[in-house]
Structure 1
């Protein structure tokens, strides 16, 4: 009888610890604050990029391979606005990695050709812009700032 009470108390304690950990994790996820300049730069990079909201939606659930994003498959998957070759596609994706929207997936053997959203990328595409069919059109100034930032990565505008 005393042993049963001890086991129940231990199970209750473990369950309480797990609940507290879950609450702590969810609180941590809700309290991530991003630098406003970084968010603006990332938003601008997304708006100026060749990718559709459908791609970012998929990236929030799973890693998407480069071959699924570029070429004819990228167009048929509706991940890109128009046909993109492999090198321009990877360059555009790597720019989104540099500004903090995406990350490359890693497996047991190293880096793969798949990409996923970072927490900031998720925040922008799935929370701020979740109800949009298409992302806001970038202005000429946005396009110029994005272009200059790509060519001067040490000095983000």
Structure 2
């Protein structure tokens, strides 16, 4: 099974200059916790998560019109549509992320694979391993030699 078999295709995206309020509205309207951030050509330049908004905007007292680029996560871990689910799980576990943008050969976002997508399609052991590894605290991961 490949990423294309489980991913959410054509996710809602925003631009770096959009407001955090607009990104949050996209999350609410699309029932998701991460929005890919793309440049004018459609290339993926980052992601903004509900956690980015809570920790880097709201908790710091920044206004709702703060630009996405000021709070987004720009160190990206991505997969291609033809990568296997095992590779997706490994990348999620190694990076301790719950979602991976799927990019095409031009670096444009064409989907997202989430932990939930994998849980709906993978066997119970693989799903359990993924949840456990992604949820491991950074300190535990560092002491285990993962980071």
- Per the normalisation by structure 1, the TM-score is 0.31
**TM-score between the two structures when normalised by the length of structure 2:** 0.32
More helix by share: 1
More strand by share: 2
